[in-house]
Amino acid sequence: MERKKNKQPKLHLKKGDQVRIITGNDKGKEGKVLQVLPDKMRAFVEGANIITKHTKPSAQNPNGGIVKQEAAIHISNLMVIDPKTGKPSRVGRRLNDDGKLERFAKKSGEVIK
């Protein structure tokens, strides 16, 4: 009997998308997606969910110390910003004229690049 491979889910986010945080401590903040972790369903957003991390001295950071950096946010707490209206919108997928899938904002129908 053959085992099924774990298939990664289709996400509504991609690296470089402009998003707004809809819940949590940083609710209302907007930023660019820096990295997406599809297996964990999380994303890093520029300037949001900042944590303080204590680092040991290393070759890159000889003194060590306290570093502030972004932590991952669950993708269900993020909405893509509609390029036409500038407001958060749900994301749909449709086939374009070339036969390729494209993402579009459900509010305005504008293609998200």
pLDDT in tens, 38-56: 999 999 999 999 999 999 9
Say which DSSP state 11 is in.
Answer: -
Give the pLDDT band of residue 31 (cuts 50, 70, 90): very high
pLDDT in tens, 48-91: 999 999 999 999 889 999 999 999 999 999 999 999 999 999 99
Burial class (CB in 10 A: 0-12, 13-18, 19+), 82: buried
Using DSSP's 3-state secondary structure scheme, residue 54 falls into strand
CA neighbor of 76 nearest in space, from 109, 43, 35: 43
Using DSSP's 3-state secondary structure scheme, residue 88 falls into strand
Spatial strand order of the sheet with 101-105 comes to 91-95, 101-105, 111-112
